[in-house]
Amino acid sequence: MAGIKHPRPDDETAEPPTPVSPFMAVFETFRSELDEHHDRRERIVKASRDITALSKKTIFSLQRVRQLQAPIPPAVSDEISAYQSKITELFTSVAPDLQDLNAWRYQNQISPGIQEYMEAVSFQHYLETRRLISYEAAQAKIPGGISLTEDDYVLGLFDLVGELMRFAITGMATGGALPRGGGEGGDLLTDLRQLRAGFEGLDGAGKRAQGKMDVMRSCVEKVEGAVYGMIVRGRERPKGWVMDVGEERRGEVESY
């Protein structure tokens, strides 16, 4: 066996060993399959990222709505339908990558986009109807036959609570009262408490949901604190006073 060469193989720089590996053909098949897989994954990650950004913009626009349980005003509506058509395009573009076997394969990649989209969709639904969007209705909002997992649906709803908090506090600051719909029974705080109770009642929700639980609770409590503050001291406030939502204060701003 004099053919064995002594110099060490220099792993990256050296050409493949002189006799072509008998496994080359097999590995070339693997290569093309792995390449397809990586390409798909990249397309999905990119679409997911863009869907997330557009959903956030939609939510910002929706936060300008003041009237609960009424059609979205035209100015806002125009903006969000422009975002929506781009979102639809993005979903449709990756739909072929998310069929059959691959529907769950790239779940981690598409999930962030779907969650953010769920947040936007459920927020709009709430503003229009003062109802929580059902799973079925939410699924129907996703174009291209891409399936909505229960996880993504719930995680989107968790984030909805944060949007409702912002909406409530802005409503109180500008309108002097908690937004309530035209219908029977309760106001936004009633709804938030119901949502909280619903979330807390879920048994066996995953780790990601547990992580959002505390944030969700503190959002509800911020609104509770703000309502309290409004009742106790509200009349002393100058008109046009705007509560600082960004900071962790609970509306305990002294009157001037």
Partner 1 sequence: MASSDSTPKGMITPAIFEHLQTKLDEDAQVREEIRNIVQAMERQDRTTMSILSRAHSIPQADLAGTLSEASESMNKQVEVIGKLKEVASKHPYYRYNSMWSREMQNASFAVVLWAWLHSHMSDHNGQKGELFTIEEVGKILQVPVSLKTQDVFHMTIEEYLLSLISLIEELARLAVNSVTLGDYHRPLEISRFVKDLHAGFQVLNLKNDSLRRRSDSIKYNVKKIEDVVYDLSLRNLVP
Residue 27 lies near partner 1 (rule: CB under 8 A)? yes
Quote the least distance from Cβ 246 to partner 1, whole Å.
26
> Count of residues binding partner 1 (CB under 8 A)?
60
Q: What letter does residue 15 receive in the DSSP assignment?
A: P
Residue with tokens 């913009």: 57
Residue 64 lies near partner 1 (rule: CB under 8 A)? no
Residue 86 lies near partner 1 (rule: CB under 8 A)? no
Quote the least distance from Cβ 1 to partner 1, whole Å.
5
206/66 Cα distance (integer angstroms): 34
CB closer to partner 1, 87 vs 195: 195
* Sites for partner 1 among residues 103-132 (CB under 8 A): 103-105, 107, 126, 128-132
Quote the least distance from Cβ 167 to partner 1, whole Å.
13
CA torsion 221→225→231→233, rounded to 10°?
-170
CB closer to partner 1, 3 vs 246: 3
- 100 phi-psi bin (left φ>0, alpha ψ -120 to 50, beta other): left
* Sites for partner 1 among residues 161-220 (CB under 8 A): 181-186, 190-191, 193-195, 198, 201-205
Cβ neighbors of 91 (< 8 A, separation 6 or more) are 47, 51, 142, 143, 144, 146
Dihedrals phi, psi of 153, to nearest 5 degrees: -60, -50
SS3 category, 73: coil
Residue 4 lies near partner 1 (rule: CB under 8 A)? yes
Helices H, strands E: what count in the chain?
A: 8, 0
Judged by CB under 8 A, the residue of 69, 88, 92, 93 near partner 1 is: 69
CB closer to partner 1, 86 vs 180: 180
Cβ neighbors of 37 (< 8 A, separation 6 or more) are none
222/127 Cα distance (integer angstroms): 20
Dihedrals phi, psi of 189, to nearest 5 degrees: -65, -40
Residue 13 lies near partner 1 (rule: CB under 8 A)? no
Judged by CB under 8 A, the residue of 9, 74, 238, 246 near partner 1 is: 9
CB closer to partner 1, 48 vs 251: 48
- Chain residues binding partner 1 by CB under 8 A are 1, 4, 6, 8-9, 11, 16-17, 20-24, 26-28, 30-31, 33-35, 38, 41, 69, 99-105, 107, 126, 128-132, 134-135, 150, 153-154, 181-186, 190-191, 193-195, 198, 201-205
